[in-house]
Structure formats: structure tokens, C-alpha cells
Amino acid sequence: MTSSTSEAARKWGLRIHVLCYVVFNAVQVMVWWIFDSSNHFWPIWSIVAWGIGLMFHIWGVSRPARVG
């Protein structure tokens, strides 16, 4: 596999990860808002935890690829 294909695949994987993060966390917030908005904002736990993983993914894709 060439370097450009590998880079494109890494960026595509990141786009899918960001899309899933936004969609699934938005659904959780809507469920909380509809059914349980008077109580603790429980979606924050998955938003923060998944966000940390997403930040590492962004960091891994954005740094230059190692040659060799």
C-alpha cells in the first residue's frame, strides 16, 4: 500500500470516528432531554470518555507519518 493511500485511509477512518461520536452523543443527549432532563446530565460521562479517545485518534492522524 502506498503512503498516499494509507494517509487517505487514516483520514477517512477519522471522519467516520468523528461522525459516530457526534451522532451517538447527540442521540444520548436527546434521550436524556426527553426522558430525564430534571436529573443529572449523565451523557457527560460518555462524551468526555469517548472524547479523550477521539482526541488521541485526531492526534495520531495529524502527526506526520514515520518513514521506515
Q: What is the pTM of this model?
A: 0.83
Which residue shows C-alpha cell 479517545?
A: 53
DSSP element (H, E) containing 54: helix 44-62
Above 50 in pLDDT, residue 38? Answer: yes
Q: What does the pLDDT read at residue 1? A: 47
Q: What does the pLDDT read at residue 63? A: 83
Delimit the domains of the chain by residue range: 7-62
Contacts made by residues 10-19, CB under 8 angstroms, sequence distance 24+ = 10/60, 10/61, 11/61, 13/57, 13/61, 14/57, 14/58, 14/61, 17/54, 17/57, 18/54
Q: What does the pLDDT read at residue 31? A: 96
